């Protein structure tokens, strides 16, 4: 059985989005800078010529992460603001995502959908994702609330933070609402690029 990995980009002041994240602007106002490392440099939502072209170091980080993950868990908010990635989520045609929600959008409940909507809690989503992932890892890509729930429950095995060199000042914080217990982390790897510092931690129990 693989690990449960929380993997997300964060500003130096702890935000994973800017203010007012919404469909078509999943990273919020001024939040594009968080994913400069993914895009290969500065970009804007309103730039029709933007392209996905990460630099060598960042491309390796992305490829290694995607290669190790067999299924993903996301929240309903992330699903909505990305529009379900138009039915083509990160990971390609065979990607499987389990969406934590209170109710499933019926238009997405079909045999060929890459999304399974889970209405009975984080443990159920994890069990289903692990069954789908086989020997590979399960990844939590967000949003903040989903990662917070799994951290508070003590279920995360590894935390991967991609620190963008920016202070956003407002938005959604990653480490609010994670409970009152101490979470001990062992740093296992650091990778630097012009647009992010990639930090890998094992969660110690």
Residue 139: pLDDT band (50, 70, 90) is very high
CATH number of 4-15+31-43+50-204: 3.40.430.10
Report the pLDDT value the prediction gives residue 91, as an integer from 0 to 100.
Answer: 81
pLDDT digits (tens, 9 = 90+) for 154-177: 999 999 999 999 999 999 999 988
Q: What are the residue boundaries of the structural domains of the chain, listed by start? A: 4-15+31-43+50-204
| 11 or 109, which is more confident | 11
The predicted model gives 192-203 an average pLDDT of: 97
Residue 93: is its pLDDT beyond 80?
Answer: no
Tell me what percent of the chain is helix, strand and coil, each rounded to the nearest 5.
30, 30, 40
pLDDT digits (tens, 9 = 90+) for 175-191: 988 878 889 999 999 99
* 85 secondary structure, DSSP code: G
pLDDT digits (tens, 9 = 90+) for 19-67: 999 888 889 999 999 999 999 999 998 888 888 899 999 999 999 988 8
**CA 146 – CA 27 distance, rounded (Å):** 16
DSSP 12-63: TTSEEE-SS-BTTBTT-TTGGGGGHHHHTS---TT-TT------HHHHHHHH
Q: How many CB atoms lie within 10 A of CB 75?
A: 21
**pTM of the model as a whole:** 0.93
Residue 17: is its pLDDT beyond 90?
Answer: yes
């Amino acid at each position: 059985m693989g690990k449960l990995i929380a993997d997300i980009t964060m500003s130096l002041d702890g935000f994973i989005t800017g203010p007012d994240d919404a469909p078509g602007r999943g990273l919020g106002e001024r939040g594009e800078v968080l994913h400069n490392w993914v895009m290969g440099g500065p970009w804007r939502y309103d730039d029709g010529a933007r392209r996905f072209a990460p630099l060598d170091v960042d491309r390796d980080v992305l490829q290694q992460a995607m290669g190790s993950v067999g299924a993903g868990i996301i929240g309903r908010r992330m699903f909505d603001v990305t529009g379900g990635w138009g039915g083509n989520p990160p990971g390609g045609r065979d990607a499987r995502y389990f969406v934590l929600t209170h109710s499933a959008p019926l238009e997405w409940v079909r045999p060929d959908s890459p999304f399974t909507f889970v209405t009975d809690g984080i443990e159920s989503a994890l069990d289903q994702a692990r069954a789908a992932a086989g020997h590979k890892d399960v990844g939590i890509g967000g949003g903040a609330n989903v990662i917070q729930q799994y951290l508070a429950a003590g279920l995360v095995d590894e935390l991967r933070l991609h620190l963008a060199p920016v202070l956003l000042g407002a938005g959604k914080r990653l480490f609010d609402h994670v409970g009152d217990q101490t979470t001990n982390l062992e740093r296992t790897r650091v990778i630097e690029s012009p647009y992010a510092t990639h930090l890998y931690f094992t969660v110690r129990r």
